[in-house]
Structures are given as structure tokens and as C-alpha cells.
Amino acid sequence: YERVKIFDKDARILLNNLPDDFFSNIILLFPDPWTKRRHKKRRLLNDLNINIFLRTLKKNGKIYFGTDVENYFSEVRNILLEKKIYVIENEKNFYSLPKMLCETKYAKKSIKKGIIPKYLVVKKNVDIL
């Protein structure tokens, strides 16, 4: 896979060194939810980091986000609702696995526990932030 690269460090290091409009798609499935209140600032998708991801995303590019933690999903969705540079493409059905993705082992574990994962598909609709 020539077009797939793995970066095993803090993603912000990579993202802060990339030009604007670099990625066509960004896929973030089941990142650590940091469930304790004092740790929530460490979440990969928070208000600050979402801006970094959106900056590196091309116009019409998409962010795919999946989690089985309800408050994490709600937090990310609420942050995105405040921004006017995107469209949530799957607003009517967050429980459906987007066609582009395959079910992960984390999704399977959640389903086995009776928790249905939720997904966001966010399309950037402007050139720059």
C-alpha cells in the first residue's frame, strides 16, 4: 500500500508540520476516550485538535470518526456544530457503519457488550479556515 503511511507518535506533531489541504480523508476510529474528567483534554478530537485536522483536510475531504463512548461522540459533534466549514453527511443515522470503513475489533467488542458504536462523517466545504 503505497498511499498508506503509519505514524506512531503524537499525531499533532505530524499534523502541525503538514501543509494546509493535505489529506483527502482522515479516519479516526475508536481513539482513546480518556473518560476521566481531568483527562478529557487529552482526547485526540477536542476543540483545539479538530481545528488542526480541519486545516490539513482538503476542500470536500472527509473526517470519519467512530466511538462507542456516548459523551465523546456528543462532545465532538457539538464542537463541529459550532463550526461553519463542514457538513455532517450522516446526520440522520450515526449508528450505520460508513460504506468506506470496515468494522474494527473495537466495534465488535462494543457490539458484543450491547453498545452500538456511533460514527460521524464530516465533509469540509471550504478551502481554508
Angle at 129 between CA 43 and CA 86, to 5 degrees: 70
Active site residue 32: yes
Q: How far apart are CA 109 and CA 127, in angstroms?
A: 38
Q: Where are the beta strands (DSSP E) in 1-129?
A: 23-29, 57-67, 86-88, 118-124
Burial class (CB in 10 A: 0-12, 13-18, 19+), 104: middle
Q: How far apart are CA 117 and CA 67, in angstroms?
A: 6
Q: How far apart are CA 30 and CA 115, in angstroms?
A: 13
Kindly name the residue from 10, 20, 32, 127 that is annotated as catalytic.
32
Catalytic residue annotation: 32
